[in-house]
Amino acid sequence: MTQELSYPKTSLEAPSPQRLLAALDFKEPDRVPHLEFWITSKTVYECVLGRKLDYEVIDAKEGQKSIAPEDEIEFAFRIGMDAVPCNFSWRPGNIFEKASDGTEHYVGGRIKTWEDLETLEPPPPLEEQLALLERYLEAGKKYGVGIFPNFTSFFDSAQLAMGYEYFLYQIYDNLALIEKLMDILLEHQVKVVEAVFKHYGDRLLFMMVNDDIAYNSGLAVRPELFRKLFCERFRTLTEPARKQGKKIVMHTDGKMDQVLPILYELGVGAIHPCEPESNDIYELKKKWYGKVALIGNIHTPLLAYGSKEEIEEDVKEHLTRLAPGGGYVLSSSTSIFEGIPPENFLHMVRCVHSFGVYEKLRGGA
């Protein structure tokens, strides 16, 4: 990365938490925000930071520690990203295996019986999680980057703990086991959410919930059962944030047609990542503008394999069609993983800074 791209030269290139909040609130700030929830490419980090990292970057989406908070905040500052997540994860019962390249990948779940519930791995100590959040907040204050907590939830965490196929069988054979596992997961995460917002709520932008509740075909289970399993538990999980007037942002993969009506009822104000494989984001805007803000939809295969011209064309279309009136935050459709060329990622960032300025989008100078 060249020096001119390493640090913001103008306010339009600098991070602004208020810019992000305004866009999520269906207002037009100075420019469209760009936000990535998961960046796992050490190559991209090192390119932007201009130095080597002396540790491995791990996929925080799987609940593990990723890049150091101070490095992540500096990275966000250098590319003008308004905020970064602090992850509060507990996903017990997962089985991982190493691939030939040395990376670990989820291969299944080990929770099959009532007795297995007694052997769940303990959650991370709350004190350690809050200490990590404090590091994020201190670094964020230094660089002007906002912080939001991102919590794993109970639905997909239960699926992962049991294994997807076994989970679906148990819906019919032993629903009580599924609900008990969900309640164990929920009980712990509620304690974490309560502590986070009790001690740090006034310094946090919003609450994010990370729970894949849908596939490309729609909801993971039939709608009436999903409501039974999900709705009241979700209200309980998010209550501490809602009491403080914080917006609830939801991450879930999959098709949104069945998902968004339920999430809107539950008070969710923004959805990520609106995958293009299963969603027409322009139709979603027509249906949900003013209700649920949209985050994402820039196809990661395009970032990985497309030309700069193709990336620029796609980003321009998203900005032109989705930005007016606020309610859109540009982001990749999954994550910035190893294999996405840093120059492609940075070209996307440049395009947001160049073409996402609202004065230009409105036809101004």
pLDDT of residue 3: 38
CB-based contacts of 95: which residues, under 8 Å, 6+ apart? Answer: 106, 107, 108, 109, 110
pLDDT of residue 114: 98
**8-state DSSP, 115:** G
pLDDT of residue 89: 95
pLDDT of residue 2: 41
The token pair at 134 is 């404090």
The token pair at 272 is 């990520």
CA distances from 95 to 107, 206, 341 (A): 6, 31, 30
CA distances from 145 to 59, 142, 219, 246, 282 (A): 21, 8, 34, 18, 29
CB-based contacts of 228: which residues, under 8 Å, 6+ apart? Answer: none
Neighbours of 255 (CB within 10 A): 18
pLDDT of residue 8: 85
Long-range contacts of 49-58 (CB under 8 A, 24+ apart): 49/74, 49/75, 49/78, 50/1, 50/6
pLDDT of residue 64: 56
Q: DSSP readout, 238-253?
A: HHHHHHTTPPEEEE--
Residuewise pLDDT in 10s, the chain (365 residues) = 443 445 788 999 999 999 999 999 999 999 999 999 999 999 999 999 999 999 888 765 555 557 999 999 999 999 999 999 999 999 999 998 887 766 778 899 999 999 999 999 999 999 999 999 999 999 999 999 999 999 999 999 999 999 999 999 999 999 999 999 999 999 999 999 999 999 999 999 999 999 999 999 999 999 999 999 999 999 999 999 999 999 999 999 999 999 999 999 999 999 999 999 999 999 999 999 999 999 999 999 999 999 999 999 999 999 999 999 999 999 999 999 999 999 999 999 999 999 999 999 987 54
Whether the Cβ atoms of residue 109 and residue 160 lie closer than 8 Å to each other: yes
pLDDT of residue 60: 55
Q: Give 350's strand partners.
A: none
Total length of the chain: 365
Q: DSSP readout, 259-287?
A: HHHHHHHTTEEEEE---TTT--HHHHHHH
User: Would you give the distance in Å from CA 248 to the centre of its chain?
Assistant: 12
pLDDT of residue 307: 98
Sign for the CA dihedral angle at 246, 146, 87, 130 comes to: negative
